[in-house]
Structure formats: structure tokens, C-alpha cells
Amino acid sequence: DIVMTQSPDSLAVSLGERATINCKSSQNVLYRSNNKNYIAWYQQTPGQPPKLLIYWASTRESGVPDRFSGSGSGTDFTLTISSLQAEDVAVYYCQQYFTTPWAFGQGTKVEIK
Amino acid sequence: QITLKESGPTLVKPTQTLTLTCTFSGFSLSTAAVGVGWIRQPPGKALEWLSVIYWDNDKRYSSSLHSRLTITKDTSKNQVVFTMTNMDPVDTGTYYCAHWAYDDSPTFGVTPRGFDSWGQGILVTVSS
């Protein structure tokens, strides 16, 4: 089974500053036939279900602000919030869907410094 | 607009079987390139993927829970039913169903994207 490991577990960032979350897959998740990495990123605010932010490692879901960006390929991926806003306080999860069983990372909690 | 809602018992006893129903609208599980998945979240902990069923009735399960899980669909009712046997207190948590989305492009064909719509979740407590 593929294991997803996120780092850090939590981070505190000042408003307007950059937040960077890392996600490492135990196996390659690049689907060679279409050159897409099967990685999604979700945001979960307190008391709410997760919300899809990014898919194929770097494609923003419709309606997601452009301060959210995803990058990486193969086994190493990053979610970046370029200028943290108060409404971005949440737990962020990566997910691999390259092969079942699908797996989520353990989550990264983003707070305001 | 896609909506999903989980329903079922909020309290089950140890060793009992949990049966949850996901009732959805805005899509059909008889249409190609659609799926419905189940994900759970113990209180204060991370998301855990459990199962998915596709439009063609292909079903996949968590490796560690495979022997306890069953997923079925009723396309006429727009429902997906999820069962987990032999419940234990460690199975306490919020159970979500979610729509598994695909993108269809001329270049790459049908390609999975992620869980793009989620139900609000149902908190299931396992206790005697």
C-alpha cells in the first residue's frame, strides 16, 4: 500500500506570509500515459467536510483562489499558500489516488502566528 | 449541483454491524465516469479512506478493513449503502460519503480528479 507522509504536522504563519506544506508518497504516483500525478489536496475547516483544492498535483479546482498552488512530481509534492488569509486557517490533507487502496496524509494544521 | 447526505445510526454497540446510506442528487451512478466513496475521521484525527464504488459496479476497499466492509449501489434510488461489520469503539468517528469526480478531455480522455463534493458527515459512536 502507498503511504502518504506530510510535513510539518502544524505550522503558524503570519497573515500575508507564505505557507508551505509537503507531502511525500512511498511510491511513484505519476501516471505515465497522461503524465499526471494522481495527487489531490483538500482543506478542512473546523466542523466542516473537506474541500477539494488541487488535483493532478497542480490543477486548481474551480473557484479556488489563486493563492493556492500545488507542485511536485513522482513522490514529492508541495501545497503553497502564497499569502495567508484568516480564512485559510484549516487542516490540509494530501491524497494519492494512483492506486487503491487510496490514502490520505496525516494532515497539516495551519494557524495564524 | 451535487449534494450528498449520510444517514444511519449514530450509536452502535460493539460487535454490531453499521449500515450507512448515502443519498445523493445532481449525478447518476449509472452514468460513466462517476464514483461514490466513503471516508471516515476519528475525533481530532486524520481522514481515512474506506471504500469506493464506480458506475460500472467496480468496488474497492481499504486493505486493513477489507474483510469487514461492503459497498453497494441502488441507482434507481440514487443511493449507496455502506456496511461495516464487528464494530469496535476504535471505529468511532465521522463517516463521510463523497462524489468521485473525473475530467473528460479530448487529449487525455476520462481522468480521475478527486472527491469534489462531500456530505456533511455522520458521527457514529461505538459504545455499549
Structure confidence by residue, pLDDT tens digits, B55-90: 999 999 999 999 999 999 999 999 999 999 999 999
Q: What does the pLDDT read at residue B20?
A: 98
What percentage of chain A exceeds 70 in pLDDT? 100
Q: What does the pLDDT read at residue B106?
A: 87
Identify the three-state secondary structure at position B66. Answer: helix
Cβ pair B114:A52 closer than 8 A: yes
Average pLDDT over residues A81-94: 98
Return the minimum-mean-pLDDT range out of A31-35, A39-43, A80-84, A105-109: A31-35
In the chain, the amino acid numbered B46 is A
A57 in Cβ contact with A72 (< 8 Å): yes
Q: What CA–CA distances, in Å, run from A7 to A12, A107, B107?
A: 13, 8, 34
Nine-digit cell string for B70? 461492503
Q: What does the pLDDT read at residue B3?
A: 98
Mutate to test the interface with B, among A100, A104, A108 (most CBs of B within 10 A): A100
Residues 34-53 of A with CB under 8 A from B: 34, 36, 38, 40, 42, 44, 49-52
Mean pLDDT of chain A: 97
Q: What does the pLDDT read at residue B47?
A: 98
pLDDT in tens, A37-76: 999 999 999 999 999 999 999 999 999 999 999 999 999 9
Residues 6+ apart with CB under 8 A from A24: A4, A5, A6, A7, A75, A76, A77
A11 in Cβ contact with A110 (< 8 Å): yes
Q: A105: which chain B residues are within 8 Å (Cβ-Cβ)?
A: 46
pLDDT in tens, A13-34: 999 999 999 999 999 999 999 9
Q: What does the pLDDT read at residue A1?
A: 97
Residue among B98, B65, B101 nearest B83 (CA)? B65
Shortest Cα distance from B98 to chain A (angstroms)? 10
C-alpha radius of gyration, chain B, whole number: 15
Distance separating alpha carbons of residues B38 and B4, to the nearest angstrom? 11
Q: What does the pLDDT read at residue A76?
A: 98
Q: Which of B49, B101, B118 sits opposite A102 (nearest CB)?
A: B49
Residues 6+ apart with CB under 8 A from A37: A29, A30, A31, A56, A57, A58, A72, A73, A74, A77, A98
Q: What does the pLDDT read at residue B10?
A: 98
Shortest Cα distance from B7 to chain A (angstroms)? 15
Q: For chain B, list residues with pLDDT below 70.
A: none
* Cis geometry, peptide bond prior to residue A8 (ω within 30 degrees of 0): yes
Q: What does the pLDDT read at residue B38?
A: 98
Cβ pair B114:A50 closer than 8 A: no
Q: What does the pLDDT read at residue B11?
A: 98
